[in-house]
Chains A and B, each alone.
Chain A
Amino acid sequence: MDYQFDFGPVLAHWPELLRGTWLTVALTAAATAIGLPIAALLAALRSYGPRPLRWLVSLYVELIRNTPFLIQLYFVFFALPGLGLRLTANTAAILAMVVNLVAYAIEIVRAGLEAIPRGQIEAGRALGLGPYRILRHIVLAQALRVVYPALASQFVLQLLGSSLVSAIAAEELTAVANNIMIVTFRNFEVFGVVTLVYLALSLLFRGLLGSVHRFAFRWTG
């Protein structure tokens, strides 16, 4: 192998790399912020809702979990405009990420909901609480504690998976890498650097979310 590594030309593009990193984090955070409340609601429907709705939510979960994210992304970006919904690459990316995240998060939250003993719900009812307050203060408050670690790893998986949205030219870290590759011809070095950035991000968020867990649930012991 007589190849000379040269990271200089790649690192010279650090402002773009930084911007790409920020966009990747923003994209993932946006998808999570939008997706989690929807997932919590659908998980409650899946566990306590009327039968046809339960069935519908299950169908959605199975459909999304058994098809690749890339195809979901293509569907959102290429097929939805045909139905009159024209999306920019970044909007399509967030929408596809939300659709994907919600399916996985429903399953995670549902496991948490099922860990709450029925007696607690009945006790809430006996205290005269309405269904919303039972769900909010008794069920979700406790379920969130149980499922937090799984949701945190889902966030990191989502962050890593967001590299795929470069396939529809949405702006984020991998797309930035593709652009730098075109102008520097340093293919291996570009992706080497970007891979390290992803690794740093996932370690950072794993640590950060872990600290939040210890802080937010310190009262539970």
Chain B
Amino acid sequence: MLRDFGPTEFLFLVTSARWTVLLSLLAFVGGGLLGLVIALMRVSPWPPLRLLMVGYIQVMQGTPALMQLFMIYYGIGLFGIRPDPWVSAAYAFTVSSSAFFAEIWRGCIEAIPRGQWESARSLGLTFAQIVRLVILPQAFRIMIPPTIGYMVQIIKGTSLASLIGFTELARAGQVINTITFEPARVFGSVALIYFVLCWPLSWLSQRLEARIARTRGEAVGLG
């Protein structure tokens, strides 16, 4: 018994996108907080800590997000707890985006001239004070465009949660496809909804980046 792909089905897709948005927000906030801590440890004056964070970033960026998701999903199961797709996905995306945020922000922090660190230190400021009062306020402006750009990656990445059975937009698409068997319309609609979520962020990120490049009199791109 096949159903047609009509307004009701489209509406179902749109409403299930709220889980995509919610999961993305969780990963953004969680990953952002964790990522900032990691970025700061990555530029800290203590070599062992720096090395540890280099390792963390290498491992997280050197393995598929899908594997990280599966590891957490099945890892939770080892504790005798029934793994919940929602919790697993939130954890996995927080952890994986933290590594990317750390790497993006490290680049922004290192773009601040070394003289700023040295003069702050010669004024007797501690590492925490230098970061909080001197470096981050200056780095903040150039951190914004790549951060918004990475939000697009997070939103798209949440589609992986469908593979552990979490019903967000991508999985809703699969479900609707199974009952209507109109894959072109279903996945076309799903793609459209993702596009509506992602494109404004991409646009904003590019625009802000271009503005920063302009005010600094540098060429755009080729970072």
Residues of chain A at the chain B interface (Cβ within 8 Å): 1-3, 62-63, 65-72, 74-75, 78-79, 82-83, 111-112, 114-115, 146, 156, 160-161, 163-164, 166-167, 174, 187-188, 191-192, 194-195, 198-199, 202-203, 206
Q: Which residues of A contact B162 (CB under 8 A)?
A: 70
Interface-lining segment among B26-34, B109-117, B126-134, B186-194: B186-194
Given that A3-B78, A71-B170, A72-B191 are known contacts, is A174 also in contact with B156, CB under 8 Å in the complex? no
Contact of A63 among B66, B67, B195 (CB under 8 A): B195
B195 and A78 contacting across the interface, CB-CB below 8 Å = no
Interface residue? B16 (CB, 8 A): no
Task: Provide the bound-state CA to CA distance between A141 and B70, in Å.
Answer: 42
Q: Which residues of A contact B65 (CB under 8 A)?
A: 160
Task: Provide the bound-state CA to CA distance between A164 and B152, in Å.
Answer: 18
A75 and B188 contacting across the interface, CB-CB below 8 Å = yes
Q: Which residues of A contact B157 (CB under 8 A)?
A: 68
B173 and A202 contacting across the interface, CB-CB below 8 Å = no
Majority SS at the chain B contact face: helix
A199 and B78 contacting across the interface, CB-CB below 8 Å = no
Measured CB to CB, the nearest residue on chain B to A65 is B202
Task: Provide the bound-state CA to CA distance between A179 and B74, in Å.
Answer: 15
B67 and A191 contacting across the interface, CB-CB below 8 Å = yes
Q: Which residues of A contact B70 (CB under 8 A)?
A: 187, 191
Q: Which residues of A contact B156 (CB under 8 A)?
A: 66-69
Majority SS at the chain A contact face: helix
B222 and A71 contacting across the interface, CB-CB below 8 Å = no
Number of A-B contacts (CB under 8 A): 125
Given that A66-B199, A79-B183, A111-B222 are known contacts, is A1 also in contact with B80, CB under 8 Å in the complex? yes
Contact of B63 among A69, A70, A195 (CB under 8 A): A195
| Interface residues of B, count at CB 8 A | 43
Q: Which residues of B contact A195 (CB under 8 A)?
A: 63-64, 67-68, 71
Contact of A164 among B66, B177, B183, B222 (CB under 8 A): B66
B78 and A188 contacting across the interface, CB-CB below 8 Å = yes
Measured CB to CB, the nearest residue on chain B to A72 is B191
Q: Which residues of A contact B75 (CB under 8 A)?
A: 188
Task: Provide the bound-state CA to CA distance between A174 and B67, in Å.
Answer: 8
Contact digits for B125-159, partner A, Cβ 8 Å, 1 yes 0 no: 00000000000000000000000000010001101
Task: Provide the bound-state CA to CA distance between A138 and B188, in Å.
Answer: 40
Measured CB to CB, the nearest residue on chain B to A74 is B187
Measured CB to CB, the nearest residue on chain B to A192 is B71
Task: Provide the bound-state CA to CA distance between A167 and B188, in Å.
Answer: 18
Q: Using a CB-CB cutoff of 8 Å, which residues 46-100 of chain B contact chain A?
A: 58-59, 61-68, 70-71, 74-75, 77-80
Interface residue? B184 (CB, 8 A): yes
Interface residue? B221 (CB, 8 A): yes
Q: Which residues of A contact B77 (CB under 8 A)?
A: 187-188
Task: Provide the bound-state CA to CA distance between A20 and B70, in Å.
Answer: 18
